[in-house]
């Protein structure tokens, strides 16, 4: 049943620009740093002479949490709006697929899209570093993997909330506005208490107890997803 739901979601997002959005995010982050280094190459290479790769990662990470939170909001809205736009919830739920599978498949698709974005970011960081002439033998592959994927685990609870709101509310302006606001607030996440989920994308990479934060992100996203699936199961649809 789950495989049918995933196949149906994959068919629906074709030609909707959703994959394009998943590509634009990491390319935008890499492009920003390419411009940054292009304009201040001599200064930055001298400032980070002791650890060139570390300097690149430091500059990139400042924008990873906001990009993930914003991407979670926009992708959730676009995915849910496929049904809202055509008022096709009843047609979808008339298929031999449970409501739980429908909700779960949308969450899985969103996770796949964000993982794809993170993989592109990983490749882009390596490519940019090599283009800038950074030494291959000093490449911190593990740190690049962490900066590309660890913040995603901290973003998953926010993704589950965004999907829940996007499915529940026909007016997508509300969940998108909340997502944009959350992304902006995340710029000041360092000032938030550690238990605030908005801070978790930051803590998952460079905070104390990174493994605990990643685990908490996975557990909380599962709980929120379960609550969202139960609510969707009981909800009347138009």
Stretch 32-57: mean pLDDT, rounded? Answer: 92
Number of domains in the chain: 1
Least confident of 100-104, 156-160, 222-226, 231-235: 231-235
Q: What residue numbers bound the domain in which 224 lies? A: 2-234
Q: Which residue has the higher pLDDT, 128 or 16?
A: 128
Mean per-residue pLDDT, 194-204: 92
Q: Confidence class of residue 102 from pLDDT cuts 50, 70 and 90?
A: confident
User: Cα–Cα distance between 49 and 76 in angstroms, integer?
Assistant: 41
Query: What whole-number distance in Å separates Cα of residue 12 and Cα of residue 171?
Result: 20
List, in order, residues 6 or more apart from 9 with CB less than 8 Å away.
79, 105, 106, 109
pLDDT digits (tens, 9 = 90+) for 60-73: 998 999 999 999 99
* Calpha distance 225→112 (Å, rounded): 16
Write the pLDDT tens digit of every residue in 143-174: 999 999 999 999 999 999 999 999 988 888 99
Q: What's the rounded mean pLDDT across residues 23-40?
A: 94
Residue 236 has pLDDT above 70, yes or no: no
Residue 11 binned pLDDT confidence (cut-offs 50, 70, 90): low
DSSP assigned state of 226: H
Provide the pLDDT for residue 37: 93
Of the pLDDT bands very low, low, confident and very high (cuts 50, 70, 90), residue 84 is confident
Q: What is the pLDDT of residue 238?
A: 58
pLDDT band at 55 (very low <50, low <70, confident <90, very high): very high
Supply the pLDDT for residue 237: 61
Residue pair 76/164 in contact (Cβ under 8 Å)? The answer is no
User: Which helix H or strand E contains 169, and what residues bound it?
Assistant: none
Of 86, 96, 103, 100, give the one whose Cα is nearest residue 9. Answer: 103
**Mean of all residue pLDDT scores within the chain:** 89
Q: Would the pLDDT of 235 be above 80?
A: no
Whether pLDDT at 50 is above 80:
yes
How much of the chain exceeds pLDDT 70, in percent?
92
């Amino acid at each position: 049943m789950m495989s049918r739901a995933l196949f149906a979601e994959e068919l629906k997002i074709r030609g909707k620009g959703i994959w394009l959005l998943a590509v634009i995010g990491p390319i935008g982050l890499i492009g920003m740093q390419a411009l940054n280094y292009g304009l201040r190459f001599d200064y930055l290479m001298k400032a980070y002479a002791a650890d060139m790769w570390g300097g690149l990662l430091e500059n990139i990470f400042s924008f990873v949490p906001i990009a993930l939170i914003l991407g979670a909001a926009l992708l959730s809205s676009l995915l849910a709006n496929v049904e809202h736009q055509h008022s096709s919830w009843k047609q979808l739920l008339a298929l031999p697929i449970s409501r739980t599978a429908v909700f779960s498949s949308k969450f899985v698709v969103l996770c796949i899209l964000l993982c794809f974005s993170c993989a592109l970011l990983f490749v882009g960081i390596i490519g940019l570093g090599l283009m800038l002439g950074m030494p291959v033998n000093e490449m911190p592959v593990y740190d690049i993997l962490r900066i590309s994927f660890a913040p995603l685990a901290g973003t998953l609870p926010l993704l589950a909330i965004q999907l829940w709101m996007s499915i529940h509310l026909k007016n997508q302006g509300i969940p998108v506005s909340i997502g944009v606001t959350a992304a902006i607030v995340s710029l000041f996440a360092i000032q938030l208490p550690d238990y605030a989920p908005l801070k978790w994308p930051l803590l998952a990479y460079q905070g104390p107890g990174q493994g605990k934060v990643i685990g908490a992100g996975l557990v909380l996203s599962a709980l929120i997803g379960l609550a969202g699936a139960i609510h969707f199961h009981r909800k009347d649809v138009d």
